[in-house]
Amino acid sequence: MSIRRSTKSRRVVAAVSLTAAMALAVAGCGADDGGKTKDTGSPSSSTPSESSDGDKGAKQEDTAAGENVDPNVKLAEIRGQRGITLVINQVKRDSGGFVTVQGEVKNGSDTNQPTSGWAGTENLIVEKNPNSVAGAALIDKAGKKRYYVLRDTDNRCLCTTGILPLQPGGSTPVFMQFPAPPSTTTEVDFMLPTFATTSLKISG
């Protein structure tokens, strides 16, 4: 009797083990399918993050174009030709190693005024940045160095472009981004074609 019971018990244990092994195999297949489903879904899950990056880029561009700049703050008023003036509202050092100059160009004359001369005289820059302020520069007299408006690999400037001719009494906001001088430099000379040179203090 003990031998028969022992043999029967062994058969029961073997059957249970086989059932458990089959269950694990089925579960393993299910896990593989689930993994494939996750992999298939991963490209679509990257879409929101791409959109977020795009939103951040748009936000930065809006800020560079004049958002959060107080138009009532007048750091300098620079006279240009034919009744044009440039009012500088902000000169700020950014954490990324840039200096952004923001302001507003105003037409105080009684005739339409062109804006093409502000891009400078370098043909490639003028071609890539028509009617812009790409010709601006900062001069660090203490460090004896000149900083030009930043450009991308296609020579497009990090500045306002496509500025339309200014009507009498009209105005347009402008911005220019430069490499930042050393932190010890707190004042620079600002130059823009057709405008007088002026000194600007850097904040931030």
Tell me the whole-structure pTM to 2 decimals.
0.67
Higher confidence at residue 171 or residue 55? 171
- 37-51, 86-100, 147-161: least confidently modelled range: 37-51
Confidence at residue 135, expressed as pLDDT on a 0 to 100 scale: 96
Report the share of the chain in percent with pLDDT over 70. 67
Long-range contacts at 64-70 (CB < 8 A, ≥ 24 apart): 64/100, 64/102, 64/158, 64/175, 64/177, 65/160, 65/173, 65/175, 66/102, 66/173, 66/175, 69/102, 69/173
Q: pLDDT tens across 113-162, in order?
A: 999 899 999 999 999 999 999 999 999 998 999 999 999 999 999 999 99
d(C-alpha 34, C-alpha 32), whole Å: 5
Check pLDDT > 90 for residue 101: yes
Nearest to 191 by CA among 126, 146, 142: 146
Which of 7-16, 70-79, 185-194 has the least mean pLDDT? 7-16
Q: Determine the average pLDDT of the residues in 168-188.
A: 96
Q: Distance between CA atoms of 44 and 49, rounded to whole angstroms? A: 10
Instruction: Please check the confidence at residue 39 and state whether its pLDDT lies above 60.
Output: no
190 or 5, which is more confident? Answer: 190
pLDDT band, very low/low/confident/very high, at 22 (cuts 50, 70, 90): very low
pLDDT of 190 above 80? yes
Answer whether residue 177 shows pLDDT above 70.
yes
Q: How confident is the model at residue 65 (pLDDT cuts 50, 70, 90)?
A: low
